[in-house]
Amino acid sequence: MKNTMNKKPNTLRKLIAAATVAATTLMSGNALAESSVWKVSKGDDHVFIGGTVHILPADQFPLPVEFENAYKQSDAIVLETKLPDPQDQAAQMALLQRLSYSDGKRLSHVLSKETYNSLGEYLAEFGANVKELDGFKPGFIISMVAMMEAQRAQLAGEGVDAYFNKKAASESKPIEYLESLEFQLDMLANMGKDNEDTLIRSTLNQMSSFKEMFTALLPAWRAGDMKKIDDLMIKPVAEEDPATFKTLFTDRNMNWVPLIEKMFEDQDREFVLVGAGHLAGDKNVIELLANKGYKVTKL
């Protein structure tokens, strides 16, 4: 694997390096009164839940004040998973191996000829050759594609999760996680299994309007306009690829709710930070908690 990687063109190596980071991280009128941060209460106790954007342009900083206030009032932050160090080459290689086929199967074996050719044409725009990526699984490919589009649109940058991860680490504030890195890698490695063609076609369709969608997503995120986020981000995935939507959103939302409920059993006050998409649409985290009787207030 390592020797093969060293032979790849420089452009492709850069794209792959960026995608390994993206793979473990892959958003109204009353805007002035709301944000993408909620206070979830049970009696006198509460936790904060913030919807994040995993890739955030530098001009979106500073963050809405509600994020900083929730952070200051919390004893610990809770992220989706531990963020890998992009400088750790051994870890990056391990990620690549997990997201590569090892059983003789290839991407070209699981995609229709039409979809494979469409992917090849798309990657060629970035100086990449689809044949050199034939050994990678779809989960890696869609992460790579998203990062490439963000870079092309000049919208790539440190996400909200990474910002608070660094901030908490520098201030020795405890950092907890909803999922293990192992879980996220397994999820990506198995994404689209037996449904690979639909996943890649859906991704390519969405990338055709990436800049337009992401540009509209940012003000919706800042304002906490979850209906807009639902329309822009959630519904397209749910309608085009229900299986992937279930894996990425519904199943994980339902797994996280019991973990958040346990946070009310200790004396600490947590600030939970998850992708904004998990707080919008059907069976989102906020809705699931409200249905269980928790009082939810948007800040």
DSSP-derived pairing of the beta strands 45-52 and 37-42 = antiparallel
Query: What beta strand segments (E) does the chain contain?
Result: 37-42, 45-52, 76-79, 175-177, 270-275, 295-298
CA 222 to CA 47: how far, in whole Å? 20
Burial of 182 (0-12, 13-18, 19+ CB in 10 A): exposed
Domain limits, the chain: 2-26+30-298
**Residue found under tokens 């690829």:** 241
pTM of the model: 0.83
Edge-first strand order for the sheet with 37-42 is 175-177, 76-79, 270-275, 45-52, 37-42, 295-298
* 219 cis-preceded (ω within 30 degrees of 0): no
Residue 122 pLDDT:
95
pLDDT digits (tens, 9 = 90+) for 23-41: 444 433 333 347 999 999 9
Confidence of residue 16 (pLDDT cuts 50, 70, 90): very low
Tell me which residue of 257, 293, 283, 223 sits closest to 49, measured CA to CA.
257
* Beta bridge partner(s), residue 175: 77
pLDDT digits (tens, 9 = 90+) for 46-95: 999 999 998 888 889 999 999 999 999 999 999 999 877 767 777 778 78
pLDDT digits (tens, 9 = 90+) for 179-224: 998 898 889 889 888 999 999 998 998 888 888 888 999 999 999 9
Residue 158 pLDDT:
84
3-state secondary structure of 105: coil
